[in-house]
Amino acid sequence: MASSTSASLPKLRTPGVDIRTTSRATRSTGLESGLSWDLALEPSSPQLHTIDSWTKADVWSYDPGTHVSKAGSIYKCKALPYGLWCKVAAYEPDKNVYWGDAWAKAGDCVDLTSSSSPSFSPSVLPSNRPSTSILTASDEDAMHFFGYSVSVSGNTAVIRSSGDDNNEGSAYVFQHIDSNGWIQVAKLTASDGAVDDHFGESVSVSGSTAVIGSRSSLVNPSDSGSAYVFQYSDSNQVVKLTTSDGAESDLFGFSASVSDNTAVIGSVGDDDNGLVSGSAYVFDGW
C-alpha cells in the first residue's frame, strides 16, 4: 500500500545576492509570441533549450511562405557566442495547436507536445526533419489536455492528461520499442484521486521512477497540493508526497523534477515569504 511522506528538507528560495544574467536568448523573428513558455537544460552540455509556444504565439511553419497562427515551434539555443542554433516546428502545423506547449529532452530525442492536438516525438536534428511519431492516449477524449506537460528519460516518455475524468487527471507512460516504435505501456492515476485534483499538472521521469504533481489535491487545506511517486515498470504508486506546512492554495505539485532518488516539487502559491511568493521542496528518497 502506498505510504505518505512530508517534506523535511528546507525550501529553496533565491538568496539575497546579486545574480547576473550571463546571456540572453532571443529569436530571429519579431512576431508576437511567448518565447520561454517552457525551458529545459541538457545536463551534459551548456545549452539552453527554450520553446516559442504561448497562447498568443504566431509562428511560421516549415514553408517560408505559410504563416500559421498559434501553431507553435521550438528553438534550441547555445550559450554565447553561438546564439540561435536551430528551430523546430510541426511538420504539418495547424492553427491554434500550440505545438511545443511542453517538452523534454534526453540525448538527441526530444518530446514535444500540444495541448490542443496529439503529442509529437521528433528528433531535433536537422531543424527541418519531420516528426517521427504522433502519440495519443488510448482513451483520449475532449478536454483531457493530453500533452500539456511531458518528460522523457531514455526510451520512456510520461505525458500528462490532467483534464481526464472530470479533472481528476492521469498520466500516460510510453516506451519506444525498437520494432514497434512508441507504445503506451501504462496509465497512472492517484490512489486517492478526486474530481478537480489535476493529477498530472506536472510530470517528471528519471530511470524507472516517475513523479506526478497534483496541485489541487487535498480537501483540507483546500488546493494545498501533493505529488505522487511511481515505479512505472509495474505502474505501482510508491509514495504520496505532501508538505509539513501545507496551506490553502499553496498548489504544491504545480511543477516537479526528479533525478535518481531526489525530487524537487514547486509550490507556486506558497505565501510564507509574501503573497504567492512561492517555494520549492526537496525530497531525498522516499
Question: Per-residue pLDDT tens for 149-175?
Answer: 888 888 888 988 766 677 788 889 988
pLDDT on residue 236 = 76
pLDDT on residue 160 = 82
Yes or no: say if 27 and 75 are a contact pair by the CB < 8 Å rule: yes
How far is residue 98's CA from residue 80's CA, in Å, rounded to a whole number? 28
Among 97, 115, 134, the domain-final residue is: 134
pLDDT on residue 108 = 41
Mean pLDDT of the chain: 63
Among 69, 103, 134, the domain-final residue is: 134
Identify the burial level of 265 via C-beta atoms within 10 angstroms of its C-beta, where 0-12 means exposed, 13-18 middle and 19 or more buried: buried
Among 117, 134, 151, the domain-final residue is: 134
Same domain, 282 and 233: yes
Question: Per-residue pLDDT tens for 7-64?
Answer: 433 333 333 333 333 333 334 444 444 433 344 444 444 333 333 332 223 233 333 3
The pLDDT-based confidence of 97 (bands split at 50, 70, 90) is very low
Yes or no: say if 227 and 212 are a contact pair by the CB < 8 Å rule: yes
CA dihedral 271, 194, 220, 11 (to 10 degrees): -40
How many domains are there within the chain? Answer: 2
C-alpha separations of 283 from 180, 210, 257 in Å: 36, 14, 10
C-alpha cell, 247: 496551506
How do strand 170-177 and strand 262-267 relate by DSSP bridges?
A: unpaired
Same domain, 96 and 188: no
pLDDT on residue 233 = 62
Same domain, 129 and 142: no
The pLDDT-based confidence of 204 (bands split at 50, 70, 90) is very high
Q: Which residue segment(s) compose the domain that 56 sits in?
A: 30-134
Residue 234 has pLDDT above 70, yes or no: no
The pLDDT > 90 percentage for the chain reads 5
Question: Per-residue pLDDT tens for 256-273?
Answer: 989 988 998 888 888 888
